[in-house]
Structure 1
Amino acid sequence: MEATIDLKSQFAHAVLPVTSSDEEARQEFVKSLKFHLASKVAPGNRLAYAARAVGRFAEVEGKTPKNYHEIRAAMNDDPYFRFWSAMQRNSQEMMWKSVQIPVERSLPELIEASLGETGAGGTLTLDPALEIPRYHRHVDIHCMPGGYHGEFAENDVANGAVYDRAVYLYAMGRMGPFNSDIGDTTIAYVKANYPDLKPRRILDMGCTVGHSTLPYADIWPDAEIYGIDVGAPVLRYAHARAESLGKAVHFSQQNAEHTNFPDGHFDLIVSHILVHETSHVAMRNIMKEANRLLSPGGVVIHAETPPYRDLDPFDAFMLDWDTRNNNEPYWGASHEIDPKQIAGETGFDADRAFEGMQPSAFDAEEAKRTKLFQGGDFAGGGMWYVWGAQK
């Protein structure tokens, strides 16, 4: 029997943590606070910049700010910006706490559910000897306690469960009931620009819990779908979630820089918000590995938020907030990449590199987007930046 999908709430699949009324109220408060900050408070930063910060900067430097670095220098000490920034960071920490509480309370049941019978045909392969990359060991990305790989119990799925619910709150429900908007949007770009591509095997690099992985199984039902990540807890959860939703995906614990798949094994390789969580060197290693793994004519495509060069300098400053305030040390550099240059450095033909902005596939009225790209307003812009290359 087909399940009824409520576009106004997250789909309650079999391993989604069950919340009490008080726990859900707390989470909804955080989601509402985030939306209030994004839609009502954040715009005041531009007014503060025009009224105070730009003049103070000009007095000291003898010029007006010309780029987002100079705008940041002008705004760092502005009281309104500091107020908004503190509230934004606090809302992030409140979000993680609000989802940790029900996960911690129900962890034994979540683990038991994840170990239950499966029937979709997917697989899970873990590698306890895998070395977690330094860029994940040394920082809890986006302030998520324990990152993707932290384990607190045998057969742990805690951080997968935490991430699943937190993403819905972080995006304020604007990525759809399955949090699948980035995958759906990337698919739309592939279908529009590579209509003759009929992938036999598809790889999602940095899949976490499979939010963006599962749509590929719907669009290309005859293809083999693979997802890799460095974190065992998120992969255990991803496998259980996919099986509960009837999607056959082959998950394995691997570093996208160096995988164990044979040469030319995939016709389509994708990632969704992976690049900004990897280092300068790692991102290039990932592209080199994608080049090795692709069949002739195959495509690698990464989905992120837009590069700073395409934004007004003040908007770039606002989007760059995460670099220094949300445990995203690679965020800024990832928004200054040149796809043609990277393609040429990593074995691809630079002339076959591409980039573009793709409108969000989830454009329902419930999304209530701000149409802005700014810190703490993930998915608010209503578009995703896609870039990559064809082999």
Structure 2
Amino acid sequence: MSQQRHALLPTETHDEVARESFVQALKSHIATRASPGVREIYDCRVRDRWVSEHGAEPADRHEVREALSSDTYYRLWSSVRRSSQHLLWSSVGDAVARQADDLAERARAADAGFGSLRLDPDLEIPWYNAEVDIHAMPGGYRGEYTDDDVSAGAVFDRGVYVYAMGQLGALNDDYGQSICQNYLAVSYPEFSPRRILDMGCTSGNSTLPYVDAFPEAEVYAIDLGAPVLRYAHARAELLGRAVHFSQQNAECTDFPNASFDLIVSHIVIHEIAPAALRRTLAECRRLLAPGGLMVHGDFAGYAGVDPVTQAMIDWDTYNNHEPFWGPMRDMDLVAESVSAGFDDGAVEITSVPTGRVLQTGKKQQSGQLTLLVGRT
């Protein structure tokens, strides 16, 4: 499946496409051939070395990571993983940088009057976003280098497609589609929200499925980064979807109480510092109308996962600019939601299948999106 073309995707040269193909092949090799070796070396030599030095096996993922960190295989695996992430962004970013001014002009010309865009140049960007280039993407989602810059949005849109090898769909919208089709349509077939809010929308990839699933609803989307919002707005206009984008912090929005019947996010809450996540959950409760739903789609917690697997997952916490990846997985999100104002018994953790296929070594499994669901 090819990525669906629209005017904001950069035109790539043969060499740029070749670099992207190399990155995909390298990431696939790491996942299928190199990653299984980490567990093998742990079982064959790292664990025994730790036991001989400490008199017991590593007690948790932190001690597993410490035990692995001095092993040459693990260090090589870690280095190659980190390098592959830098190669991902540079392979996509060079094409975007070459066309940055043209992409900004296309975005300015894309306003067809379907939705709207509201930016706030005085918005204070919270430290956990301002000080972290999420996913090691240079400049993060907020970096601006030209007037009306949309580069961060273009890099993200193309980069996610390359990273996921197209498995998120031609519009990178699989997570939004999965919640709409595999959860809401199945668990709440009569649900018909009038107003929907997507928190942390980035380029709006997962926002647009809600426009199609609920054509009578007003759809709103917020993010901290101006360049990704410019891109998201122009992209939605080019694709003929009405979304009202605004630059806001999900911890404290300017929407009135009980403004929305459905609040969603997609792979966002693990990017937020725990204290800020608690405030975001409280803001969701404030914004939800009676009978409304909160659905945050992200990754599963660490409960029930063995320490070695936890340590390998937790690699991103320390090496891929994902400092809250591990802390979010440790949180009791149901209890936190209740503390934020949701009724006890009105919050649950569930999961839905996605279109991605995850592969480690010879094993393949369908991707799952874990959902934090709160009802009012």
TM-score w.r.t. the length of structure 1 is: 0.92
Which residue does 1:384 correspond to in 2?
369
Partner SS state of residue 358, structure 2: coil
- The letter of the residue matching 1:194 is Y
Q: Do residues 74 (structure 1) and 74 (structure 2) align?
A: no
Structure 1: distance between partners of 2:4 and 2:238 = 12
Matched ranges for 1:134-173 at <5 A = 134-173=127-166
8 Å CA contact 1:210, 1:238 repeated in 2: yes
Instruction: Provide Cα deviations, 1:225-263, integer angstroms capped at 9, x if missing partner.
Output: 111001000000001111111111110000001111111
Instruction: Provide Cα deviations, 1:34-65, integer angstroms capped at 9, x if missing partner.
Output: 11111111111111110111101111121122
Which residue does 1:92 correspond to in 2?
85
Q: Do residues 181 (structure 1) and 166 (structure 2) align?
A: no
Structure 2: distance between partners of 1:337 and 1:91 = 29
8 Å CA contact 1:107, 1:158 repeated in 2: yes
8 Å CA contact 1:174, 1:380 repeated in 2: no
Which residue does 1:298 correspond to in 2?
292
Identity of aligned residues (%): 47
Which residue does 1:286 correspond to in 2?
280
Moved over 4 A (4+): none
Cα RMSD, aligned residues only: 1.6
Indicate how the Cα distance of structure 1 residues 54 and 381 shifts in structure 2: closer, same or farther if over 3 A, else same.
farther
Which residue does 2:11 correspond to in 1?
18
Instruction: Provide Cα deviations, 1:179-212, integer angstroms capped at 9, x if missing partner.
Output: 1111112222222223332110110000000111
8 Å CA contact 1:228, 1:254 repeated in 2: yes
| Range moving further from structure 2, 194-203 or 222-231 | 194-203
Which residue does 1:5 correspond to in 2?
none
8 Å CA contact 2:24, 2:165 repeated in 1: yes
Which residue does 1:323 correspond to in 2?
317
Which residue does 1:340 correspond to in 2?
334
Q: 2:238 aligns with which of 235, 244, 255?
A: 244
Structure 1: distance between partners of 2:104 and 2:115 = 18
Q: 1:214 aligns with which of 208, 212, 234?
A: 208
Give the deviation of 1:381 after TM superposition: 5.7
8 Å CA contact 1:120, 1:247 repeated in 2: no
Structure 2: distance between partners of 1:339 and 1:387 = 7
Q: 1:370 aligns with which of 359, 368, 374?
A: 359
Give the deviation of 1:276 after TM superposition: 0.9
8 Å CA contact 1:371, 1:380 repeated in 2: no
| Range moving further from structure 2, 336-345 or 40-49 | 336-345
Give the deviation of 1:148 after TM superposition: 1.0
Q: Number of residues paired by the alignment?
A: 373
Structure 2: distance between partners of 1:219 and 1:40 = 39
Instruction: Provide Cα deviations, 1:256-278, integer angstroms capped at 9, x if missing partner.
Output: 01111111110000011111111
Which residue does 1:375 correspond to in 2?
none
Which residue does 1:3 correspond to in 2?
none
Instruction: Provide Cα deviations, 1:313-350, integer angstroms capped at 9, x if missing partner.
Output: 22221111100000111111011121221112101112
Structure 2: distance between partners of 1:184 and 1:314 = 32
Which residue does 1:231 correspond to in 2?
225
TM-score w.r.t. the length of structure 2 is: 0.96
Instruction: Provide Cα deviations, 1:150-193, integer angstroms capped at 9, x if missing partner.
Output: 11011010111111111112222221111111111222222222
8 Å CA contact 2:50, 2:57 repeated in 1: yes
Partner SS state of residue 310, structure 1: coil
Partner SS state of residue 42, structure 1: helix
Which residue does 1:108 correspond to in 2?
101
8 Å CA contact 1:371, 1:381 repeated in 2: no
Give the deviation of 1:118 after TM superposition: 3.0
Structure 2: distance between partners of 1:371 and 1:39 = 5
Structure 1: distance between partners of 2:60 and 2:185 = 36
Structure 2: distance between partners of 1:210 and 1:326 = 23
Q: 1:123 aligns with which of 97, 109, 116?
A: 116
Structure 2: distance between partners of 1:177 and 1:248 = 19
- In structure 2, runs of 5+ residues without a counterpart are none
| Range moving further from structure 2, 50-59 or 164-173 | 164-173
Structure 1: distance between partners of 2:309 and 2:178 = 23
Structure 1: distance between partners of 2:138 and 2:126 = 17
| Range moving further from structure 2, 83-92 or 119-128 | 119-128
Structure 2: distance between partners of 1:370 and 1:13 = 30
- In structure 1, runs of 5+ residues without a counterpart are 1-7, 373-378
Q: 1:36 aligns with which of 23, 29, 37?
A: 29
Structure 1: distance between partners of 2:360 and 2:367 = 6
8 Å CA contact 1:339, 1:388 repeated in 2: no
Q: Do residues 9 (structure 1) and 2 (structure 2) align?
A: yes
- The letter of the residue matching 1:284 is R
Structure 2: distance between partners of 1:306 and 1:52 = 29
| Range moving further from structure 2, 53-62 or 164-173 | 164-173
8 Å CA contact 2:110, 2:234 repeated in 1: no
Structure 1: distance between partners of 2:192 and 2:46 = 53
Partner SS state of residue 289, structure 2: strand
Q: 2:348 aligns with which of 346, 349, 354?
A: 354
